[in-house]
Amino acid sequence: MKQISQITSVPTVRRADQPARRQFLKGSIVLTGMLASGSILATLAPSRSWALEAQHLDKTQANALLLMAKRLYPNKDMPDAIYALLVKDMDAACADATTKQLVLDGIAKLNAATQGAWATASEAKQVAALKAMESEPFFQKVRGQCILSLYDNQLAYAHFGYEGEVWSKGGYLGRGFNDLTWLPDPPESASPSVKS
Protein backbone atom coordinates (compact mmCIF):
# COMPACT_ATOMS: atom_id res chain seq x y z
CA MET A 1 0.00 0.00 0.00
CA LYS A 2 1.42 3.39 -0.97
CA GLN A 3 1.82 6.08 1.59
CA ILE A 4 0.51 9.54 0.89
CA SER A 5 4.05 10.90 0.42
CA GLN A 6 4.63 8.38 -2.38
CA ILE A 7 1.69 9.54 -4.45
CA THR A 8 2.97 12.06 -6.96
CA SER A 9 -0.21 12.88 -8.80
CA VAL A 10 -3.87 12.46 -8.19
CA PRO A 11 -5.96 11.77 -11.28
CA THR A 12 -8.78 14.19 -11.90
CA VAL A 13 -12.12 12.46 -11.97
CA ARG A 14 -15.10 14.29 -13.33
CA ARG A 15 -18.15 13.67 -11.19
CA ALA A 16 -21.06 11.98 -12.94
CA ASP A 17 -23.37 14.86 -12.03
CA GLN A 18 -21.11 17.39 -13.79
CA PRO A 19 -21.35 16.65 -17.52
CA ALA A 20 -18.98 18.27 -19.93
CA ARG A 21 -20.22 21.63 -21.20
CA ARG A 22 -20.64 20.39 -24.77
CA GLN A 23 -22.64 17.33 -23.64
CA PHE A 24 -24.76 19.55 -21.44
CA LEU A 25 -25.54 22.00 -24.22
CA LYS A 26 -26.19 19.19 -26.68
CA GLY A 27 -28.35 17.09 -24.40
CA SER A 28 -30.31 19.57 -22.37
CA ILE A 29 -33.51 21.39 -23.12
CA VAL A 30 -35.02 24.22 -21.19
CA LEU A 31 -38.67 24.71 -20.31
CA THR A 32 -39.41 28.27 -19.32
CA GLY A 33 -42.32 30.22 -17.98
CA MET A 34 -43.43 33.15 -15.89
CA LEU A 35 -45.09 33.30 -12.50
CA ALA A 36 -47.98 35.72 -12.20
CA SER A 37 -46.77 38.83 -10.39
CA GLY A 38 -49.76 38.83 -8.05
CA SER A 39 -49.44 35.20 -7.03
CA ILE A 40 -48.18 34.10 -3.65
CA LEU A 41 -45.60 31.98 -5.47
CA ALA A 42 -44.03 35.11 -6.91
CA THR A 43 -43.18 36.18 -3.36
CA LEU A 44 -41.44 32.84 -2.67
CA ALA A 45 -39.53 32.58 -5.90
CA PRO A 46 -36.30 34.47 -6.47
CA SER A 47 -37.76 35.84 -9.71
CA ARG A 48 -41.03 35.70 -11.63
CA SER A 49 -39.51 33.67 -14.46
CA TRP A 50 -38.61 30.01 -14.15
CA ALA A 51 -36.67 27.58 -16.25
CA LEU A 52 -36.18 23.85 -16.11
CA GLU A 53 -33.23 22.14 -17.72
CA ALA A 54 -33.84 18.58 -18.85
CA GLN A 55 -30.95 16.26 -19.57
CA HIS A 56 -32.71 13.12 -20.77
CA LEU A 57 -35.90 14.37 -22.44
CA ASP A 58 -36.31 16.71 -25.37
CA LYS A 59 -38.60 19.73 -25.20
CA THR A 60 -41.54 17.94 -26.86
CA GLN A 61 -41.31 15.03 -24.42
CA ALA A 62 -40.97 17.38 -21.44
CA ASN A 63 -43.99 19.38 -22.58
CA ALA A 64 -45.98 16.15 -23.03
CA LEU A 65 -45.27 15.18 -19.42
CA LEU A 66 -46.14 18.68 -18.18
CA LEU A 67 -49.46 18.51 -20.04
CA MET A 68 -50.10 14.99 -18.75
CA ALA A 69 -49.63 16.23 -15.17
CA LYS A 70 -52.08 19.07 -15.81
CA ARG A 71 -54.68 16.61 -17.11
CA LEU A 72 -54.15 14.09 -14.30
CA TYR A 73 -54.20 16.68 -11.51
CA PRO A 74 -55.97 19.81 -12.71
CA ASN A 75 -55.68 22.55 -10.12
CA LYS A 76 -57.30 25.88 -10.73
CA ASP A 77 -54.71 28.58 -11.28
CA MET A 78 -51.75 26.36 -10.36
CA PRO A 79 -48.73 27.79 -12.17
CA ASP A 80 -46.80 25.67 -14.65
CA ALA A 81 -43.72 26.16 -12.44
CA ILE A 82 -45.22 23.64 -10.01
CA TYR A 83 -46.18 21.20 -12.76
CA ALA A 84 -42.63 21.53 -14.11
CA LEU A 85 -41.40 19.88 -10.91
CA LEU A 86 -42.86 16.62 -12.24
CA VAL A 87 -40.92 17.04 -15.47
CA LYS A 88 -37.75 17.66 -13.47
CA ASP A 89 -38.25 14.50 -11.42
CA MET A 90 -39.22 12.37 -14.42
CA ASP A 91 -36.21 13.67 -16.34
CA ALA A 92 -33.96 12.60 -13.46
CA ALA A 93 -35.64 9.17 -13.43
CA CYS A 94 -34.94 8.89 -17.17
CA ALA A 95 -31.22 8.62 -16.38
CA ASP A 96 -32.15 4.95 -16.06
CA ALA A 97 -32.45 3.51 -19.59
CA THR A 98 -35.43 1.29 -18.69
CA THR A 99 -37.39 4.21 -17.25
CA LYS A 100 -36.52 6.42 -20.20
CA GLN A 101 -37.80 3.78 -22.62
CA LEU A 102 -41.00 3.44 -20.56
CA VAL A 103 -41.53 7.20 -20.76
CA LEU A 104 -40.74 7.45 -24.47
CA ASP A 105 -43.07 4.54 -25.27
CA GLY A 106 -45.81 6.07 -23.11
CA ILE A 107 -45.55 9.44 -24.81
CA ALA A 108 -45.62 7.69 -28.20
CA LYS A 109 -48.86 5.92 -27.16
CA LEU A 110 -50.37 9.25 -26.10
CA ASN A 111 -49.50 10.69 -29.51
CA ALA A 112 -50.89 7.62 -31.29
CA ALA A 113 -54.14 7.82 -29.32
CA THR A 114 -54.58 11.44 -30.38
CA GLN A 115 -53.64 10.99 -34.06
CA GLY A 116 -50.09 12.19 -33.46
CA ALA A 117 -51.11 15.40 -31.76
CA TRP A 118 -51.13 14.89 -27.97
CA ALA A 119 -50.07 18.47 -27.25
CA THR A 120 -52.71 20.06 -29.49
CA ALA A 121 -55.58 17.59 -29.04
CA SER A 122 -58.68 18.74 -27.23
CA GLU A 123 -58.78 18.24 -23.49
CA ALA A 124 -61.52 15.61 -23.93
CA LYS A 125 -59.31 13.58 -26.30
CA GLN A 126 -56.34 13.90 -23.97
CA VAL A 127 -58.36 12.69 -20.99
CA ALA A 128 -59.77 9.79 -23.05
CA ALA A 129 -56.22 8.78 -24.05
CA LEU A 130 -55.13 8.86 -20.41
CA LYS A 131 -58.13 6.82 -19.26
CA ALA A 132 -57.29 4.16 -21.84
CA MET A 133 -53.78 3.90 -20.33
CA GLU A 134 -54.74 3.87 -16.63
CA SER A 135 -53.52 0.33 -15.98
CA GLU A 136 -50.23 0.66 -17.88
CA PRO A 137 -46.87 1.02 -16.10
CA PHE A 138 -46.14 4.38 -17.78
CA PHE A 139 -49.38 5.88 -16.50
CA GLN A 140 -48.80 4.47 -13.01
CA LYS A 141 -45.22 5.79 -12.94
CA VAL A 142 -46.21 9.31 -13.93
CA ARG A 143 -49.32 9.34 -11.73
CA GLY A 144 -47.35 8.23 -8.69
CA GLN A 145 -44.58 10.74 -9.32
CA CYS A 146 -47.19 13.49 -9.78
CA ILE A 147 -48.39 13.05 -6.22
CA LEU A 148 -44.90 13.57 -4.83
CA SER A 149 -43.72 16.20 -7.27
CA LEU A 150 -46.84 18.34 -7.25
CA TYR A 151 -47.95 18.21 -3.66
CA ASP A 152 -44.85 17.68 -1.53
CA ASN A 153 -43.09 21.00 -2.04
CA GLN A 154 -43.12 24.52 -0.69
CA LEU A 155 -44.45 26.06 -3.92
CA ALA A 156 -47.54 23.84 -3.82
CA TYR A 157 -47.98 24.54 -0.11
CA ALA A 158 -47.97 28.27 -0.85
CA HIS A 159 -50.39 27.85 -3.77
CA PHE A 160 -52.92 26.03 -1.60
CA GLY A 161 -52.33 28.17 1.50
CA TYR A 162 -51.05 25.16 3.45
CA GLU A 163 -48.38 25.98 6.01
CA GLY A 164 -46.61 22.64 5.68
CA GLU A 165 -45.28 20.57 8.55
CA VAL A 166 -45.31 22.24 11.94
CA TRP A 167 -43.15 19.87 13.96
CA SER A 168 -40.14 22.13 13.42
CA LYS A 169 -42.25 25.10 14.56
CA GLY A 170 -43.41 23.57 17.84
CA GLY A 171 -46.17 21.24 16.65
CA TYR A 172 -49.90 21.63 16.16
CA LEU A 173 -50.65 22.31 19.80
CA GLY A 174 -48.54 25.44 19.71
CA ARG A 175 -49.94 26.59 16.37
CA GLY A 176 -53.46 25.27 16.71
CA PHE A 177 -55.94 24.17 14.12
CA ASN A 178 -57.80 27.47 14.23
CA ASP A 179 -55.52 29.09 11.66
CA LEU A 180 -56.48 26.89 8.72
CA THR A 181 -57.15 29.30 5.89
CA TRP A 182 -56.88 26.65 3.20
CA LEU A 183 -60.00 24.72 4.31
CA PRO A 184 -63.58 25.90 4.77
CA ASP A 185 -64.59 26.59 8.35
CA PRO A 186 -66.16 23.53 10.00
CA PRO A 187 -69.52 23.82 11.73
CA GLU A 188 -69.30 24.88 15.39
CA SER A 189 -70.58 21.45 16.50
CA ALA A 190 -67.54 19.79 14.91
CA SER A 191 -65.15 21.88 17.00
CA PRO A 192 -66.03 21.65 20.68
CA SER A 193 -64.15 23.99 22.96
CA VAL A 194 -60.96 22.76 24.60
CA LYS A 195 -60.70 23.08 28.37
CA SER A 196 -57.39 24.39 29.62
- 82-140, pLDDT tens digit by residue? 888 999 999 999 999 999 999 999 999 999 999 988 999 999 999 999 999 999 999 99
Does position 182 have pLDDT exceeding 50, yes or no?
yes
Residue 188 falls within a domain, yes or no?
Answer: no
Residue range 35-40: mean pLDDT, rounded: 47
Confidence (pLDDT) at 89: 94
Residue 14 placed within a domain:
no
- pLDDT value at 12 more than 90: no
E strands, the chain, are 29-34, 49-54
DSSP 192: P
Residue 185 pLDDT:
76
Domain-embedded: residue 6: no
Residue 139 is predicted with a pLDDT of: 97
pLDDT, tens digit, 9 for 90 and up, residues 145-175: 999 998 888 888 888 877 777 778 777 766 6
For residue 11, tell me if it sits in a domain.
Answer: no
For residue 192, is it within any domain?
no
> Which residues, including other chains, have CB under 8 Å from residue 130's CB and lie 6 or more apart?
68, 71, 72, 110, 139
Is there a contact between 86 and 150 (Cβ–Cβ < 8 Å)? yes
The pLDDT of residue 26 is: 41
Within-domain flag for 191:
no
Q: What angle do CA 14, 15, 16 make, to 5 degrees?
A: 115
pLDDT score of 58 more than 60: yes
Q: What is the pLDDT of residue 177?
A: 60
Angle, helix 59-72 to helix 80-93, in steps of 10 degrees:
120
Residue 68 domain flag: yes
More confident residue, 127 or 33: 127
Residue 143 pLDDT grade (very low, low, confident, very high; cuts 50, 70, 90): very high
Which residue range forms the structural domain that includes residue 65?
Answer: 19-174
How many separate domains does the chain show?
A: 1
pLDDT at position 93, please?
95
For residue 51, name the pLDDT band (cuts at 50, 70, 90). Answer: low
